[in-house]
Amino acid sequence: MKNLNLSPSALEEVPVNPKWKRKSSNLTDGNEDNEELNNKGLSLALDCKFEPDSTVTMKNPSSENSFDDEEPKEEEATETCPPSKMLRTTISSGDEVLQQTQTKKTRVSVRTRCDTPTMNDGCQWRKYGQKIAKGNPCPRAYYRCTVSPTCPVRKQVQRCAEDMSILITTYEGTHNHPLPLSATAMASTTSAAASMLQSRSSSSQPGLGTSVSAPASISPTNGLNFTVSQNNAMRPQQFYFPNSSISTSNSHPTITLDLTAPTSTSHFNRFPCAPRYSPTCLNFSSSSSSTSLDSNSTMQTLWNPGYSTYGALSHSRNNNGSLNNIGKHPPQDHLYQPQMQMNSQTAATSQQSLTETIAAATKVIALDPNFRSALAAAITTFVGNGVVGLEKILV
C-alpha cells in the first residue's frame, strides 16, 4: 500500500527558495504559535492516502462527460483536461489511473466572484510567476504559501475569460503547518475537497475509521454528490455541492467548487432562498467558534463574502490576499481551531473523535464532520439563507 502522507517530512519535494527562509524568520511570532499548535497536533496537514488495491478509481466517464457538456468554462479555467486527455485517463487501466493519481497532486479550484486581484483566504502567499494561459487573455498568477518555508501549497489565480468578475483560484497541495484560524476555512475546505476527490479512488481508509461509502457522482444539476460514513456507527452523510465538479485530468485531478452566483437557475434549485452574494472580495476569515451551522452569523463570519474583521487587517501593500501581518495576531488568529464549525448534530461525533486522539482528528479532518462543516460553510456562505436547505441535504 502506498500512502501519500503529506506530513512535513513528505513535503520536502518542493524546492525551497532561500529567500523564503528569511521571510519565515519574520513570521516567528506566528510560527511560535504554530509550533505550539504542532505540539497539540493541530496541524491542518492531511493524510492523503491512496489505496492501490481499491476497486474504485478516479474515473467516472459518464458523469464527467455530462458535466463537461454543461459547464465548458471549467476547461480553460481550471485546466480541466481536454477530451483527449480525459479519454486517456478514463481508458487507462485502473493501475495506471491510480499511479497518476498518486504521483500528481490533487487540485482544488474555487470559482468565486471577486473584484480584487485575489481573494483573501487568510493565508500568506508570495507571487512567483505570472503567465498568459492559452485561451484566456487574463494572466494567470502563481503563488506559493509563505507561512512555512517548506509549505508545498501553491495556488493559481486567474480571471474567468467569460466573466472577468469571476476569480478562479486553484489550490494545490496541503499545508504542512498550522494555519491561523482565518485561513483554516479555505484550507480545510480545499483540503477536504481534495481528500474527498482522492477518496473516490479509495473505497475505505483503514485506520481512519472513515470511509467514502459511495463514490462521488455528478448530479444532473452540476453538483457534487457524495456520501461519507464514519465508523459505520455514524449515519452516512451526504454532501451536495452545487455547480461543482470533479475532473480527472491526466496531470492533476481537480475538484472545482463553483461558488459563483448561479448561472443557471437550475443549479440552485435546492437553495431557492439563495441570495446573490456580494461581489466583493471573498474573505475566508472566521472569528467564530460557533458550533451551529444554523446561525447565519456564523456563516457570515466564515468565508464571509464581505469584508469582515480580518479583511480589514489584510489590506496591506499586497492586495493579493496575503497577510503581511500574519504573525501579529489579528483579533481571532490566536483562536486556532482544531475543528471547523460544525452543526450541532455532528458536534458530538466529532468531539468524540477528538477525544480519541488529536492526531486521528487531524487525519480525518477531511472526511470527518469537519469536511462536512467546511463544505457546508462554503456553501452556506454563498447561499445565505440556503443553510436550511443545506441542513436538510446534509441530514
Partner DNA sequence: CGCCTTTGACCGGCGC
Partner DNA sequence: GCGCCGGTCAAAGGCG
Task: State which residue, 59 or 270, has the beta carbon closest to DNA.
Answer: 59
Which three-class secondary structure state does DSSP give residue 344?
Answer: helix
Residue 213 or 324 with smaller CB distance to DNA = 324
Q: In the beta sheet, which residues pair with residue 3? A: 49
For DNA, which is the closer residue by CB, 1 or 134?
134
Cell of 394: 446534509
Options 39, 84, 93, 265; binder of DNA; rule CB under 7 A: 84
Q: Please give the grid coordinates belonging to residue 352.
A: 468524540
Neighbours of 90 (CB within 10 A): 19
Rank residues 145 and 228 by Cβ distance to DNA and give the closer one.
Answer: 145
Phi and psi torsions of 334, nearest 5° = -80, -10
**Judged by CB under 7 A, which stretch of 47-55, 244-252, 258-266, 387-395 contacts DNA?**
244-252
Question: Which x/- pattern, by CB under 7 A, does the window 166-195 give for DNA?
Answer: ------------------------------
Which of 13, 39, 134, 265 is close enough to bind DNA by CB under 7 A?
A: 134
Count of Cβ atoms closer than 10 Å to residue 164 Cβ = 11
- Of 61, 83, 129, 275, the one binding DNA (CB under 7 A) is 129
DSSP assigned state of 35:
H
Residue choice 111, 113, 154, 200 for contact with DNA (CB under 7 A): 154
Least Å from the CB of residue 284 to DNA: 17
Restricted to residues 326-355, the positions that interact with DNA (CB under 7 A) are none
Distance CA 120, CA 122 (A): 6
Place of cell 497518476: 100
Site for DNA in 5-34 (CB under 7 A): 15, 17, 19, 22-23, 25-26
Q: Which helix (H) or strand (E) holds 172?
A: strand 166-172
C-alpha to C-alpha distance for 158 and 169, rounded to whole angstroms: 7
Task: Determine if 126 is a binding residue for DNA (CB under 7 A).
Answer: yes
Tell me how far CA of residue 377 lies from CA of 134, 294, 343, 381, 387, in angstroms: 33, 10, 10, 6, 9
Q: Where on the chain is the footprint of DNA (CB under 7 A)?
A: 15, 17, 19, 22-23, 25-26, 79, 84-85, 88, 125-131, 133-135, 140-142, 146, 154, 156, 250-252, 317-318, 320, 322, 324
